Structure formats: C-alpha cells, structure tokens
Chains A and B, each alone.
Chain A
Amino acid sequence: MLSLLLALAQPAMADAPDNWKFSLDGYYRVRGFVFPDMFPGQVKAGTYMTHRIRLQPGLNFQDRAKFFIMADMLDGVVFGDNQSAASTALFAGDPTNTSIKGTAMDPLTIKRAWMEFKVPIGLVRVGRQASNWGMGLLANEGNGFDDTFGENQYGSTYDRAIFATRPISIVQTIMKKRDSGIPLVVAVGVDRLVEDPLIQYYGYKCDPEKDGEAGCTEDEDHGYTEDRTEDNRNETWWVDGQDDVWEMIYVLSYRGEGVALPGGRVGDLIGGVYAVNRMQAETNSNVLILDAYGKVEVANIYAEGEILHIGGNTEAISLAGAENVGAESPLFKKADIWGYVVRAGYQNRTFTGYLEHGYASGDPNVADAEFTGRPLHPDYNVGLLLYEEIIARSTATVWGPDAQGLWSNGGVYNSRYIFPTVKYRPLDNWEILGGVLAAWPDKADGSRIRCSPDDPVPEGQDPDRWKDKCNATASMLGYEVDLAVKHKFHDHINFTMEGGYAHVTDRIPLSSVGLDYRVNDKGQEVGDFWTFQTRIAYEF
C-alpha cells in the first residue's frame, strides 16, 4: 500500500526507455538469540540462530507495467540438523529445516506475487501483495529492518485488487490546467480473504443438544462450527458466496514534503485515513476498521501518531457468549477495539530522541458479547522482552494451540506503555540506541493479566469473586531497558547487537505459564529476564 501511494504521490515522470528492467531486492539475514533465564531451572543460557532469505525479483516494462514476486527461503529455520537427519547427533552434517517451534517446515515459500500497471487516471495493483499503513499498527508489511529493536517476522499480506489515483491532478487535467502535483491520493480496493472456509459455520440453525436430533436435517447435525478437510469439498466449493469473507478498502492519503506550514515554516506533512469494511454474509459480519495516521516534521521537531478503531457486528466467532444465549442470535458479538501510538521528538543527523506512548485495548471476557481486545501488529516491535517474549509466551500458553487467534505474538497487548528512546549516530554508518519501556495493564482479566483488588470489576464478573481472586499487587506490568548498536559496512552488510533487561511484576502469571520467577521480599511473584540478540544481514 505504501509503495503504491508513494508511486502515485510523485509527479508524473517521462517514460523510461522502451526496454525491460530487471530488479532484485531482498536480503539474507541471520539472527541470533540468547535467553539466559527464561525458564525455571534453566542452568545455562538458551541460544539459537535463525535464517531468512528474502528475494523479491521484479520485471519492469517502461515503468508502465511491473511484476514482482517475493519468496522467503529458510525463513525462521533454526541452525543445525534438528530433524535427526544424521542417526547420531554427534555426527550431524547436513542441517535440516526446523522452526523454533520444533517442527519441520517448508524451506521455500512464495509469499507474495503481484502486478501493477498504469492506467490513464491512476495505478492498479493486483495480486497477493503487502499491506502497510502508517506506523504499521494494523497493516504492517514486515519488510526490511525498520524496527528500533527486534525483527520483523510476520508481515501483512492480502489477495487484493486496488486502484489508486490523484483526484486533484485528474480534475486539473480535465480543466486543462497544469498539474500542480498536490500529493493527495485516493485508493479503492477489494480483498478476498476467504473463498470457502474449512471451518464450516452453522450458527444456531440446528443444535442437536438443544433441539434434538429430530429437529436437525442430516446436513445440520452439528453445533456452531465444524472442522472439515479439503476432501470434504465438492466441485462447486467456490460457488457459495455466503461464506466468502471479503473487504473493501478506502484510502485517503496526503504526503506533503517541504510544504508551507502555518507560521511561515516549511516542513513535511503526511496524513490520511485507511478504512476497511470487512464482511461475511452467513455470519452477518460487518466490521468497519478506521485507521488514521499523521506525521508532521518541522525544523528537526517531529510528531507522528496512528489511531485505529475496529467496530461492528459479527456472529463468526465461535466462542459463544453466555450472555447471548436465548437471544435471537446467541453468537452475536459487537467489536469495539482501540489501539494507538503517538510519538514526538527531535532529530538531526547525529541525534534522535523521542517519547512514544501506545495503547492496545484488552478484553477481560472473550466469551461475552463485547469483543474489545486485539494486540497491535506483531511486527510493530516495542522492546525486546516484555511484549516480544514474555507476554507472547504467556498468552500462547494460557490460550493453547486451538486459540492462536488470541495470542499476542509479540504485539502490544492489553496495555498502555511509554517508551522514551534515544539514538546517536557518531558516523553515518554507526548508530547507538537506548530505550526504556514501562507498561501498565488495560483490562486485567485474571488469567492472562492478573487482576488486583483495585481494578474495576469487568462486566460479567461477580464482584465478590473478583475481589476474592484478584491478589496482584503491582500497578505496572513491568519495565524494560534496551540497548543496541547498529553498523552498516561494505554498503550492504547490516550488523546489529541488541540487549535487554526486563523486570516483570506479579501482573503476569509467570509461574503458571512456565516462565522463570522468584518471590521477592514482599512475597510477590516477579521475574527478571535478560536477552542478547544479534543480526547480520546482506541487503541487496
């Protein structure tokens, strides 16, 4: 999305020579991790290293028609023969393809492939493509090494057709006026998220336990949803439109660089709104996502922020809420999810300093009719430990493998935080960074984030039970200190060393999720965690 907008934001250029151009972007990255004290009883630091090769070749015909493909190889593959290819580990030779989850993985994945071409009034991009907006809280392409700390691991990818245009230029052309080059872009697109879900939705049309077998036709002998396999599909599996999940995308973006600002100053002004309307007919799902982004930079002072809201109705989530049983639609859920990050600071060639504050709303009761929690995008990295490792592992353990949609995956989760950060660049290719993260819970729930008696009682909770079981004492989730040194040499080699220390309070259920903890002199269960990580990458 960003590159599409950038392409359009630039004034029209003369046609390139009539020939083909081939490009190759990407990198090979190795990242090493050291966790000295993550788990109870750990007597020695746990270490591992992973690969990622990202290749993005492109064909460009006269800057008018382009085709790209993006492939990841050995993505997340852990160094070594971890599938016992050698019968005796000591004699291992050829390494195998094993993820950090310990499972074998495909060494090659075609992640994205798309074309883009100009039309008289704009640009069209069609295919499996990256989605990126603003700071990346909602849509984050996960490309490159853009995070202050940590690594991109996921990336937003959609099967999408999108058209973007510069409406002011069109109007000026129609009126036979000179294109003023105002960088205002409007885009409209459509994503097809699902053609036919393998998890078949049945809702409450028939529930044998409730209505009796006689009340159900043969095809409706089921509960709310039912898992299928590909073998259960017939030749017309794609015809049913009721189960399709799709979304419309609307973008309004202004990207002004060196524009006149109030007060007679000149600076950069970027902003816009990204709206997504996601729908699925059979589940009566109609969800509107609004995401606004803005950035202003004047005389080395800059501020940027992104705020998103997800609202709407759905019956697609099969964690039915008790509150809705007996209602016309027992599976009904109303989404009301908020997230934002604001950042302001000073930057010049050698120094950057800013204060960042962010928020991701939580959900104290995922089974009720209100769906209020969603982490920020996991590739919007905030620190190395608290969100990236501790809460990621905690939520994964609490929810288990069948509820992966509720894992944080390292994104900012059910909390608000501040993260002041400084960067010093003694030379153009050297950067020293430091940050201090402090985080507080949003809506403690009792299992993922422990509650304290002073927390407000969530709707649906029995107040007496809440007071009785809520015995966390800390107001914070914890704090973290991160340091990094980044160096680029030979123009293409990117080397980073990062380290962090996190103190986690008794708000995180360390003991019950299998993470290392100690009981402090106040009787509180707390954790102290360290990490050291390195990255070396060849960018091309």
Chain B
Amino acid sequence: MRWILALALVGCDGGTAADDSSKTDDSGTTEGIELSKYINTNVTYSGDTTCFTPPTWLGNPTLCDGCTADHALKGWVEDFESGDKVPQADISLFFSDDISSSANVETKADANGDFSATVPACTPLGYKTSTPVDWEQTKDTYEVHQIWGFEADGELTEPINSVSVSTSKIIPAMLAVEWQPGTGIMAGTAYDCNEDPITGAQVVVRAEDGTIVDADIFYFIDSFPALNQPESSEDGLWVAVNVPPGNWYVDMYVWDGSTHVLMGTTVLEIKPDSVNISNVYTGHDDGIYYPDSCIAQ
C-alpha cells in the first residue's frame, strides 16, 4: 500500500484564541465545548507567516486583466491515495464554488480516467467526483476553493481528486474512529504564506456563530494518519471525521510561544457520507488562495 497521499490539494477576524464556547443540538454543534479541546498545542509552529499580521485578513488580491478567461481543461480523475487514474467517474464542476448549486459542467471520465471541460481560470470553483454507489469504488468526493492559474495558451492540464471507498475506510480505522453514517470527512492542508505546509498548526471545526463541532480531528505524519500527533507535522495535513452535514468553518491556529493565534479559516459545506477537501491558507478567512499567475503585477 502506498501511503503517499500527496495532499498537494490543488487547491470573525484573525486573532488570539480567547473565547471558549457542551450539548449537541440539531445543527450538529455542541454547546459548551471549549476551544482548548482542539487548540491546545504548545509546540511553536514552523512556517513563513510574515505576510499576515493578525487580526486583519489579507483579503483577495487584484486579479490581472483577462485572467478569469475560459480555459480548456484537460483533466483527469486521480485517486487521492494511490495517484492512479479513476475511470468512468462522474464529474460535476461548480463555477460558483457552491457545491449545492446547479453544476455548470457535468461530464464523465473516460476509461482512462481522462476528461475535458471548459473552465474559468483564476476563479474559485468546486467540484464533485463520484462513481455509482453499487460499484463500491469511490466515495463522493468534494473539493471547494479550487483555483487553477492563468495560462497564456488557454490550456490547463490538471487532476481532480477522488477518494476510494478503501481509503475512506482505512483512515478512520487507523485512527480508531467509527465513521458514523450520515456524517462526512473533511481534510486539507495548513499552508503558510508561501503555500508551504505549516508544522505545528491545529484546526477546529465551528459553526458561523462560533459554536464548536464535536468532530474527531487528527493530523498526519509523513502523509500517514497518526493517532497521537497533536498538531500538524511537516506535511501540514489534517483530517476531521464525523462532521455533520452543513456549512462549517475550519479555523487554523498556531502557537507562537505565548498564545494561540488564529492564522486562517476556510469555509465548506459537508455532504453526508462524503469526503470533503479544502485547504487553509495563512491570512485568508475563506480558504481561497490565488496562484501568482492570477495576480495583477
């Protein structure tokens, strides 16, 4: 088994942790869960965060003219764990970055796992990959805030992720967690200003009002899910299991030697029995990070 997950997932104001917010309600959040249950490391983080001075978020950059033009995407569906192409997968692309909206493109990968579509560059978008449930091949996989950079020739060659049923089972099993039916898994990478993984980051899942979701959150070591790794390692990877369906915020904190500092947030919607991918970027409160090719010089 090759466990190089290769999570280079193409992919409130900031400030110190002060408020601690237990009783689960219908929304899936639990009143009374203290932030310290999830944000508690005393390991000083490692990563370049000089671009961000809390609590003022960086905001989105000014995009270069014409950067959002449609591009011809030569894509393929790639298994999240093995890197193998996934044939015959159904693909939905959401140019609004909203996976509950109507898909702008619905297509299917061929027998080799390849597909093509016309997509806007420099535009946050969401996608879903799936195979028929009866096949028991893949889990419905969603990723949001995906931005593909501008290419002068108007052509993009990019993979999109699909998580196999096998991987979706092994990760909770290795983490000694029972994946409850009807809930989702969310996963991503904690990035610094240079889009390098942050060592020492912790994440917490919350509702818009700050109420914390009682999810099972774990980190990885060398791209392996690790039971007793309390904060992100050099790979920056995190995973939250048993997240109820709904719209949630994922806050990324680091320990600066004296306090826990909120460094970034992403927003994503969790669908039942699915795997949902979104990264968290330093200085950004929406999980949206534009590549350099999109930014006006």
Residues of A within 8 A of B (CB): 199, 207, 209-210, 222-227, 318-320, 322-323, 325, 330, 364-368, 397-403, 406, 445-448, 450, 458, 460-462, 464-465, 468-469, 509, 511-512, 514
Q: In the assembled complex, which residues on chain B have CB atoms less than 8 Å from the CB atom of A367? A: 174, 224-227
Interface of chain B, main secondary structure = loop
Asked whether B176 lies within 8 Å of A322 as measured between CB atoms, the reply is no
The 3 closest A-B pairs by CB, nearest first: A322-B226, A400-B169, A446-B176
B1 at interface by CB-CB < 8 Å: yes
Q: In the assembled complex, which residues on chain B have CB atoms less than 8 Å from the CB atom of A400? A: 165-170, 173
Interface residues in B155-187 by Cβ distance below 8 A to A read 164-170, 172-181
| Interface-side segment among B120-128, B215-223, B277-285 | B215-223
Contact (A450, B178) CB under 8 Å given A325-B221, A398-B169, A400-B170: yes
8 A-B pairs within 8 Å (CB atoms) are namely A222-B2, A325-B222, A398-B178, A400-B168, A402-B1, A448-B173, A461-B227, A461-B228
Asked whether A445 lies within 8 Å of B170 as measured between CB atoms, the reply is no
Of chain A, the residue at the smallest CB distance from B183 is A512
Q: A367-B224, A367-B226 are in contact. List 4 more A-B contacts (CB 8 A).
A: A209-B222, A210-B234, A398-B178, A464-B37
Q: Which of B3, B175, B228, B233 contacts A223 (CB 8 A)?
A: B3
B41 to chain A, nearest CB (A): 12
Asked whether B222 lies within 8 Å of A210 as measured between CB atoms, the reply is yes
Asked whether A318 lies within 8 Å of B1 as measured between CB atoms, the reply is yes
B51 at interface by CB-CB < 8 Å: no
Q: In the assembled complex, which residues on chain B have CB atoms less than 8 Å from the CB atom of A461? A: 176, 227-228
Q: Which of B166, B172, B233 contacts A401 (CB 8 A)?
A: B166
Of chain B, the residue at the smallest CB distance from A459 is B228
A38 to chain B, nearest CB (A): 17
Of chain A, the residue at the smallest CB distance from B223 is A209
Q: In the assembled complex, which residues on chain A have CB atoms less than 8 Å from the CB atom of B180? A: 511-512
Of chain B, the residue at the smallest CB distance from A395 is B173
Max chain B Cβ within 10 angstroms of own Cβ: one of A399, A446, A460, A464: A446
Q: In the assembled complex, which residues on chain A have CB atoms less than 8 Å from the CB atom of B175? A: 447
B58 at interface by CB-CB < 8 Å: no
Asked whether A223 lies within 8 Å of B4 as measured between CB atoms, the reply is yes
Max chain B Cβ within 10 angstroms of own Cβ: one of A224, A462, A464: A224
B235 at interface by CB-CB < 8 Å: yes
A464 to chain B, nearest CB (A): 8
Kindly state the separation between the CA atoms of A487 and B183 in the bound complex, as whole angstroms. Answer: 50
Max chain A Cβ within 10 angstroms of own Cβ: one of B172, B174, B223: B174
Q: In the assembled complex, which residues on chain B have CB atoms less than 8 Å from the CB atom of A227? A: 2, 82
Q: In the assembled complex, which residues on chain A have CB atoms less than 8 Å from the CB atom of B176? A: 364-365, 445-447, 458, 461
Asked whether A225 lies within 8 Å of B2 as measured between CB atoms, the reply is yes
Of chain A, the residue at the smallest CB distance from B226 is A322
B191 to chain A, nearest CB (A): 15
Of chain B, the residue at the smallest CB distance from A222 is B2
Max chain A Cβ within 10 angstroms of own Cβ: one of B2, B172, B223: B2
Kindly state the separation between the CA atoms of A366 and B3 in the bound complex, as whole angstroms. Answer: 15
- Contact-residue size bin, chain B (C-beta under 8 Å from the other chain): 35 or more
Q: In the assembled complex, which residues on chain A have CB atoms less than 8 Å from the CB atom of B173? A: 366, 398-400, 403, 406, 447-448
Interface residues in B219-263 by Cβ distance below 8 A to A read 221-230, 233-235
Q: In the assembled complex, which residues on chain B have CB atoms less than 8 Å from the CB atom of A465? A: 216
Kindly state the separation between the CA atoms of A223 and B166 in the bound complex, as whole angstroms. Answer: 19
Q: In the assembled complex, which residues on chain A have CB atoms less than 8 Å from the CB atom of B172? A: 398, 447
Contact (A223, B2) CB under 8 Å given A209-B222, A365-B227: yes
Asked whether A224 lies within 8 Å of B3 as measured between CB atoms, the reply is yes
Contact (A209, B4) CB under 8 Å given A402-B167, A402-B170, A447-B176: yes
Q: In the assembled complex, which residues on chain B have CB atoms less than 8 Å from the CB atom of A406? A: 173
Interface residues in B10-48 by Cβ distance below 8 A to A read 37
Kindly state the separation between the CA atoms of A464 and B164 in the bound complex, as whole angstroms. Answer: 31
B70 to chain A, nearest CB (A): 33
Q: In the assembled complex, which residues on chain A have CB atoms less than 8 Å from the CB atom of B179? A: 447, 512
Asked whether B1 lies within 8 Å of A225 as measured between CB atoms, the reply is yes
Kindly state the separation between the CA atoms of A432 and B131 in the bound complex, as whole angstroms. Answer: 50
Q: In the assembled complex, which residues on chain B have CB atoms less than 8 Å from the CB atom of A460? A: 227-228
Kindly state the separation between the CA atoms of A464 and B82 in the bound complex, as whole angstroms. Answer: 34
Q: Which of A207, A366, A397 contacts B174 (CB 8 A)?
A: A366
Q: Which of B169, B216, B223 contacts A399 (CB 8 A)?
A: B169
Contact (A207, B222) CB under 8 Å given A367-B227, A368-B227: yes
Kindly state the separation between the CA atoms of A367 and B171 in the bound complex, as whole angstroms. Answer: 11
Kindly state the separation between the CA atoms of A367 and B175 in the bound complex, as whole angstroms. Answer: 8
What 1/0 mask marks residues of chain B from 191 to 228 whose CB sits below 8 Å from any chain A CB? 00000000000000000000000001000011111111
Asked whether A322 lies within 8 Å of B1 as measured between CB atoms, the reply is no
Kindly state the separation between the CA atoms of A403 and B170 in the bound complex, as whole angstroms. Answer: 7
Asked whether A226 lies within 8 Å of B169 as measured between CB atoms, the reply is no
B55 to chain A, nearest CB (A): 29
Kindly state the separation between the CA atoms of A319 and B228 in the bound complex, as whole angstroms. Answer: 15
Asked whether A209 lies within 8 Å of B169 as measured between CB atoms, the reply is no
Q: In the assembled complex, which residues on chain A have CB atoms less than 8 Å from the CB atom of B178? A: 398, 446-447, 450, 509, 512
Contact (A320, B222) CB under 8 Å given A224-B3, A227-B2, A402-B167: yes
Kindly state the separation between the CA atoms of A462 and B37 in the bound complex, as whole angstroms. Answer: 11
Q: In the assembled complex, which residues on chain B have CB atoms less than 8 Å from the CB atom of A322? A: 221, 224, 226-229
Q: In the assembled complex, which residues on chain A have CB atoms less than 8 Å from the CB atom of B216? A: 465, 469
Of chain B, the residue at the smallest CB distance from A319 is B174
Max chain A Cβ within 10 angstroms of own Cβ: one of B170, B173, B180, B230: B173
Q: In the assembled complex, which residues on chain A have CB atoms less than 8 Å from the CB atom of B37? A: 464, 468
Asked whether A397 lies within 8 Å of B169 as measured between CB atoms, the reply is yes
Q: In the assembled complex, which residues on chain A have CB atoms less than 8 Å from the CB atom of B234? A: 210
Of chain B, the residue at the smallest CB distance from A404 is B166
Of chain A, the residue at the smallest CB distance from B175 is A447
Of chain B, the residue at the smallest CB distance from A406 is B173
Max chain B Cβ within 10 angstroms of own Cβ: one of A207, A209, A227: A209
Contact (A224, B227) CB under 8 Å given A320-B222, A403-B170, A512-B181: no
Asked whether B2 lies within 8 Å of A226 as measured between CB atoms, the reply is yes
B168 to chain A, nearest CB (A): 8
Kindly state the separation between the CA atoms of A210 and B230 in the bound complex, as whole angstroms. Answer: 20
Asked whether B165 lies within 8 Å of A401 as measured between CB atoms, the reply is yes
Kindly state the separation between the CA atoms of A288 and B179 in the bound complex, as whole angstroms. Answer: 36
Q: In the assembled complex, which residues on chain B have CB atoms less than 8 Å from the CB atom of A398? A: 169, 172-173, 178
A226 to chain B, nearest CB (A): 6
Kindly state the separation between the CA atoms of A512 and B178 in the bound complex, as whole angstroms. Answer: 7
Q: In the assembled complex, which residues on chain A have CB atoms less than 8 Å from the CB atom of B233? A: 325
Kindly state the separation between the CA atoms of A74 and B173 in the bound complex, as whole angstroms. Answer: 34
B250 to chain A, nearest CB (A): 19
Q: In the assembled complex, which residues on chain B have CB atoms less than 8 Å from the CB atom of A401? A: 165-166
Max chain B Cβ within 10 angstroms of own Cβ: one of A199, A330, A367, A460: A367
Of chain A, the residue at the smallest CB distance from B165 is A400
Q: In the assembled complex, which residues on chain A have CB atoms less than 8 Å from the CB atom of B4? A: 209, 223
Q: In the assembled complex, which residues on chain A have CB atoms less than 8 Å from the CB atom of B224? A: 319-320, 322, 367
Of chain B, the residue at the smallest CB distance from A509 is B178
A498 to chain B, nearest CB (A): 30
Kindly state the separation between the CA atoms of A445 and B227 in the bound complex, as whole angstroms. Answer: 11
B9 to chain A, nearest CB (A): 14
